Structure 1
């Protein structure tokens, strides 16, 4: 049995940052990763980086080869190659950074708990080794949820977001099951490359957690790209055909059966924490109904010397929260122990459609339900000079302010450059600034940021 000061299960974003921090403090660290193709975590290998790379490429393909599927398909294959090259480069950098440190030992294999301080590692050649650690950190991430639909497991034409992005052949007809963030992003991306996209959602309300004005604006934007949206679509079965795949579904509203044919079916029905193989009960670690590791505000599990970070602890599954998880844990180990996960609320999120949507805080509907006295402002993207110069005038900005205090309690930006501009609103909310701070701020011109001047001028 080998002894370490720390064992980190999973080579994700938070885990690699923590490994380097601990090793630099002369801790002996073991980091375990089940797949060499996942060095650096989901974001680098199968999530943020590859998807956003291809989303950018799809915008170029649409601009160059609109309505020319043959050339779009060729461009797509080249774009996938460029994406693969970038992912390999970043993966190798992550590996080299960890492998080069004398205080870090990297184990390739599957980890599971043997006790609350001992982890068993089974390598790819089935060899077993036991590691004992004073502190253990779970950073195993999340995995796509596979819906209970007959035929999906045996189909050659059914993909998750992770597996579809590896394909170099552009699907001419793409069916997407699930109209959440992943579904909308990839629908936009593949439509840009020239695919005929049908987006199916089991619920009867599109974007149910968003305000209706925002959801309707997004819906119209997707339709303008040629994306067909079908609501109340309850998937029943999938079977392969000579040309691709056929999906059978019923309309939840009236029970009418439908059949859809496609070259590929993408399952975009969410992600869940990856805890199935960890044998958590051996360490006395509790999980919730979704399998997420239950932690306190300092990210400690029910066994205080075992911690969880990133997607495996459930909640919002964002790479930037995994980075902040590292900060929380580092503060507990080496700082004043005051940092807490509650400190970062609210957290912004982005959906990389075209235009992208960014949101922070409460929606108008949520704020009304909580009894706030509100002031609401909306600004069309077309009213912002920078949107005109970029020729991206679709969308809008929306802000919600507490009428009594003047504090911003929610903001949605559905416009070009929204992923950047939302961080300014986040900074204002985090520092409890009056809305006039953004109304009167001197922004550069022309920029999408200066739209905040006019958005908050309405109050």
Structure 2
């Protein structure tokens, strides 16, 4: 057995950042990654970077193709090629950032625990080695959930959010099972490329986590894009045909059955922590009902030698949360033990449809249901001058204000550039500023950020 200062299982955002930090402190680090197409982690290979690259390309489709179906298909194929080139470049860069460091050894293989502080690595070349350390970090991410639908594993036309981005031919008809945020991003993307998109959502309410006025605004914009939504939809079977695929569905509210034909099916049914092959029981590491590694507020597992970071520990699956996990672990190892998972709330998220939907903190519906003494301010996106110069006047901005203190409790921005503007609200909330701080702030003009002047100046309801 080889003894090292640190073992990191999984080459994701948190793990790769921690590896470089530890190596810079003189630690001897072993980085284990079983898939050589995942150097750098989910974000750059199958998540944020490829999807946002394709969304950008999709936004250009109308100008470049002018409705020509042949041109749309060609543009889609070119977009996939650009995406592949970008992810390959970033993957290579991420690999060499670690592999070229003399204090880091990258192992292409699958790691599994064989004791509390020992990991066995089945290398891709067939060899096996054992590594021991008192500092082991799990960073194996998550995988797509395959729902128990008859025929789903037999179909040649069913894809996950990972595999559909390798599809070089644009599907003319795309059925998406799942109406969550991932499903919405892909629905918008493929509709923009020219596909006829149908979203099958098991819920009766559209994006139930959002306020109803925001949800209605989002749905109206996406339907205007040509996307069809089937609510209360339970997909019961999937069957390949000669020229496509047929989905048999049931409306759980109406009580009737129907069929949908498509060229491809996307499963957007969520992701589950990737822990199945780690043999966590051998290391005394607890997991929850979904297989997520159980951690405390400083990301320590039930094994004092092991921490977990990123999607594998459950909770919000965002790259920036994985990066913050690294900061918490760094502080736990070398700092004053001041950082923990509780002190990063609230944090923002964004859904990259068009316009993007961004949110932080509590929503109006949740606040009122909790009996909180709040006021709500709203502003149509069409009221913002910059929205007109961008020709993106759809949407709605709103914020929830504590009536007693004037502080911002939450905000939802469904407008152009909201994924950037939401960060300004996040800073105001984290620093305890009242809404009047943004109301009176001097922003550049014309900009979407100056919408906060008007939003926070609206009369509260």
Please classify the TM superposition score into its range, dividing by the shorter chain length. over 0.9
On the 8 A contact 2:358/2:422 being kept in 1, the answer is yes
| Counterpart in the other structure of 2:381 | 381
Matched ranges for 1:7-22 at <5 A: 7-22=7-22
Distance in 1 (alpha carbons) for counterparts of 2:258 and 2:278: 41
Shift of 1:382: 0.5
Distance in 1 (alpha carbons) for counterparts of 2:125 and 2:246: 39
TM-score scaled by length of structure 2 = 0.99
On the 8 A contact 2:379/2:458 being kept in 1, the answer is no
Matched ranges for 1:341-380 at <5 A: 341-380=341-380
Structure 1 SS opposite 2:311: helix
> For residues 186-243 of structure 1, what are the alpha-carbon distances to aligned partners after superposition, in whole Å with 9 as ceiling and x for unaligned?
0000000000000110111111111000000000011000000000100111111111
Structure 1 SS opposite 2:404: coil
| Counterpart in the other structure of 1:318 | 318
> For residues 53-91 of structure 1, what are the alpha-carbon distances to aligned partners after superposition, in whole Å with 9 as ceiling and x for unaligned?
000000001232243221011000001101111001100
Shift of 1:126: 3.2
Distance in 2 (alpha carbons) for counterparts of 1:219 and 1:447: 25
| Counterpart in the other structure of 2:3 | 3
Structure 2 SS opposite 1:38: coil
| Counterpart in the other structure of 1:338 | 338
Distance in 2 (alpha carbons) for counterparts of 1:137 and 1:244: 44
| Counterpart in the other structure of 1:41 | 41
Structure 2 SS opposite 1:235: strand
Distance in 2 (alpha carbons) for counterparts of 1:442 and 1:23: 43
Q: Which runs of 5+ in 1 are unaligned?
A: none
Distance in 1 (alpha carbons) for counterparts of 2:256 and 2:75: 39
1:101 aligns to 2:109 (yes or no): no
User: Is 70-79 or 124-133 further displaced after alignment?
Assistant: 124-133
Matched ranges for 1:188-199 at <5 A: 188-199=188-199
On the 8 A contact 1:6/1:30 being kept in 2, the answer is yes
> For residues 97-123 of structure 1, what are the alpha-carbon distances to aligned partners after superposition, in whole Å with 9 as ceiling and x for unaligned?
000100101111111110110001112
> For residues 382-401 of structure 1, what are the alpha-carbon distances to aligned partners after superposition, in whole Å with 9 as ceiling and x for unaligned?
10000000000000100110
Distance in 1 (alpha carbons) for counterparts of 2:437 and 2:303: 44
| Counterpart in the other structure of 2:110 | 110
| Counterpart in the other structure of 2:60 | 60
Shift of 1:458: 1.4
Distance in 1 (alpha carbons) for counterparts of 2:337 and 2:158: 47
On the 8 A contact 2:294/2:302 being kept in 1, the answer is yes
Shift of 1:348: 0.6
> For residues 238-259 of structure 1, what are the alpha-carbon distances to aligned partners after superposition, in whole Å with 9 as ceiling and x for unaligned?
1111112111110001321111
Distance in 1 (alpha carbons) for counterparts of 2:126 and 2:436: 62
> For residues 136-180 of structure 1, what are the alpha-carbon distances to aligned partners after superposition, in whole Å with 9 as ceiling and x for unaligned?
000000111111101111111000010000111100000000010
| Counterpart in the other structure of 1:300 | 300
Matched ranges for 1:125-204 at <5 A: 125-204=125-204
| Counterpart in the other structure of 2:27 | 27
Structure 1 SS opposite 2:190: helix
TM-score scaled by length of structure 1 = 0.99
| Counterpart in the other structure of 1:455 | 455
Distance in 2 (alpha carbons) for counterparts of 1:457 and 1:65: 42
Q: How many residues align?
A: 459
Distance in 2 (alpha carbons) for counterparts of 1:373 and 1:44: 42
| Counterpart in the other structure of 2:275 | 275
| Counterpart in the other structure of 1:232 | 232
Distance in 2 (alpha carbons) for counterparts of 1:356 and 1:23: 38
Distance in 2 (alpha carbons) for counterparts of 1:245 and 1:125: 39
On the 8 A contact 1:347/1:360 being kept in 2, the answer is yes
Shift of 1:402: 0.4
| Counterpart in the other structure of 1:409 | 409
Distance in 1 (alpha carbons) for counterparts of 2:233 and 2:67: 28
Structure 1 SS opposite 2:60: helix
| Counterpart in the other structure of 1:442 | 442
Distance in 2 (alpha carbons) for counterparts of 1:68 and 1:378: 39
> For residues 371-422 of structure 1, what are the alpha-carbon distances to aligned partners after superposition, in whole Å with 9 as ceiling and x for unaligned?
2111101101110000000000000100110001101001000000000000
> For residues 248-279 of structure 1, what are the alpha-carbon distances to aligned partners after superposition, in whole Å with 9 as ceiling and x for unaligned?
11000132111111000000001110001111
| Counterpart in the other structure of 1:390 | 390
On the 8 A contact 1:66/1:194 being kept in 2, the answer is no
Distance in 2 (alpha carbons) for counterparts of 1:180 and 1:311: 17
User: Is 361-370 or 386-395 further displaced after alignment?
Assistant: 361-370
Distance in 2 (alpha carbons) for counterparts of 1:59 and 1:200: 23
> For residues 27-56 of structure 1, what are the alpha-carbon distances to aligned partners after superposition, in whole Å with 9 as ceiling and x for unaligned?
110000010100000000000000000000
Shift of 1:125: 3.5
Stretches of 4+ aligned residues off by more than 3 angstroms: none
Structure 2 SS opposite 1:37: coil
Shift of 1:304: 1.9
Structure 2 SS opposite 1:150: coil
Distance in 1 (alpha carbons) for counterparts of 2:412 and 2:66: 30
RMSD: 0.8
